[in-house]
Structure 1
Amino acid sequence: MPNFYIQPLDQKLAAAIQLKLDSKTKPVGALGSLETLAGHVALIQQTLTPQLRSPHVLVFAADHGIAAEGVSKYPQEVTYQMVLNFLSGGAAINVFCRQQGIALKIVDAGVKGSFTEFPAVINQKIAEGTRNFLHEPAMSITQCEQALAAGAKLAREVAATGCNVLGFGEMGIANTSAATLLMHHLTSLPLTECLGRGTGLDDDQLTHKAAILTAAAQQHTATSPLEILAAFGGFEIVQMAGAMLAAAEQGLILLIDGFIATAALLAATALHPAVREYCVFCHQSEETGHQRMLTYLQAWPLLNLNLRLGEGTGCALAYPLLVAAVSFLNEMASFESAGVSQSTTQTPVTA
Structure 2
Amino acid sequence: MRSFDHAAAEAARARQNSLTKPEGSLGRLEDMVVFLAGWQGRARPRLDRVQAVIFAGNHGVVAQAVNPFPQSVTAQMVQNFRTGGAAINQICKVAWADLDVVPLELDRPTRDFTRECAMTAQEVQEAMHRGAEAVSADSDLILLGEMGIGNSTVAAALAASVYGGGPDDWVGPGTGAQGDMMSRKRQAVADGLARHQPGNGADTLAAFGGREQAAICGAILRARELGIPVILDGFICCAAAAVLTRDDPDALAHCLLGHESAEPGHQRLVAALAMTPILSLDMRLGEGSGAAMALMILRGALSCHNGMATFAEAGIG
Which TM bucket (shorter chain)? Answer: over 0.9
Deviation at 1:216, TM superposition (A): 1.7
Aligned-partner SS, 2:230: strand
Alignment partners' CA distance in 1, 2:250 and 2:41: 16
Alignment partners' CA distance in 2, 1:257 and 1:49: 25
Instruction: Report the counterpart of residue 292 of structure 1 in structure 2.
Output: 268
Instruction: Report the counterpart of residue 116 of structure 2 in structure 1.
Output: 136
Deviation larger for 45-54 or 243-252: 45-54
Alignment partners' CA distance in 2, 1:136 and 1:40: 41
Aligned-partner SS, 2:252: helix
Alignment partners' CA distance in 1, 2:246 and 2:308: 39
The one-letter code matched in structure 2 to 1:76 is: Q
Q: Mark the CA change 1:223 to 1:275 in structure 2 (over 3 Å): closer, same or farther.
A: closer
The alignment of Structure 1 onto Structure 2 pairs a total of residues equal to 317
Aligned-partner SS, 1:110: coil
Instruction: Report the counterpart of residue 133 of structure 2 in structure 1.
Output: 153
Q: Aligned ranges for residues 178-193 of structure 1 at < 5 Å?
A: 178-193=154-169
Deviation sequence 1:105-163 (CA, Å, 0-9, x none)? 11111312xxxxxxxxxxxxxxx1100011000001111111112211222xx12xx22
Q: Compute the TM-score of the two structures, normalised by the length of structure 2.
A: 0.95
Alignment partners' CA distance in 1, 2:245 and 2:184: 31
Instruction: Report the counterpart of residue 30 of structure 2 in structure 1.
Output: 35
Identity %: 36
Alignment partner of 1:219 out of 195, 199, 212: 195
Deviation at 1:68, TM superposition (A): 1.0
1:257 aligns with 2:221: no
Alignment partner of 2:139 out of 141, 148, 163: 163
Give the superposed CA RMSD: 1.5
Extract unaligned runs of 5+ from structure 2.
none
Deviation at 1:83, TM superposition (A): 1.1
Instruction: Report the counterpart of residue 102 of structure 1 in structure 2.
Output: 97
Instruction: Report the counterpart of residue 2 of structure 2 in structure 1.
Output: 7
Deviation at 1:249, TM superposition (A): 0.9
Instruction: Report the counterpart of residue 11 of structure 2 in structure 1.
Output: 16
Alignment partners' CA distance in 2, 1:87 and 1:13: 38
Aligned-partner SS, 1:149: helix
Alignment partners' CA distance in 2, 1:273 and 1:82: 34
Instruction: Answer yes or no: is the 8 Å Cα contact 1:93–1:311 preserved in 2.
Output: yes
The one-letter code matched in structure 1 to 2:43 is: L
The one-letter code matched in structure 1 to 2:96 is: G
The one-letter code matched in structure 2 to 1:151 is: G
Deviation at 1:264, TM superposition (A): 1.7
Instruction: Report the counterpart of residue 185 of structure 2 in structure 1.
Output: 209
Instruction: Report the counterpart of residue 123 of structure 1 in structure 2.
Output: none
Alignment partners' CA distance in 2, 1:43 and 1:319: 17
Aligned-partner SS, 2:55: strand
Deviation larger for 192-201 or 301-310: 192-201
Q: Which structure has the larger Rg over C-alpha atoms?
A: 1
1:234 aligns with 2:214: no
Deviation sequence 1:181-239 (CA, Å, 0-9, x none)? 11111122443222211112223322221122111210113222111110002001101
Instruction: Answer yes or no: is the 8 Å Cα contact 1:245–1:272 preserved in 2.
Output: no
Deviation at 1:255, TM superposition (A): 1.4
Alignment partners' CA distance in 2, 1:244 and 1:129: 23
Deviation at 1:290, TM superposition (A): 0.9
1:318 aligns with 2:294: yes
1:51 aligns with 2:27: no
Deviation sequence 1:316-344 (CA, Å, 0-9, x none)? 21111111111111111122222222xxx
Instruction: Answer yes or no: is the 8 Å Cα contact 1:110–1:236 preserved in 2.
Output: no
The one-letter code matched in structure 2 to 1:169 is: G
Alignment partner of 2:282 out of 306, 322, 325: 306
The one-letter code matched in structure 1 to 2:213 is: I
Aligned-partner SS, 1:15: helix
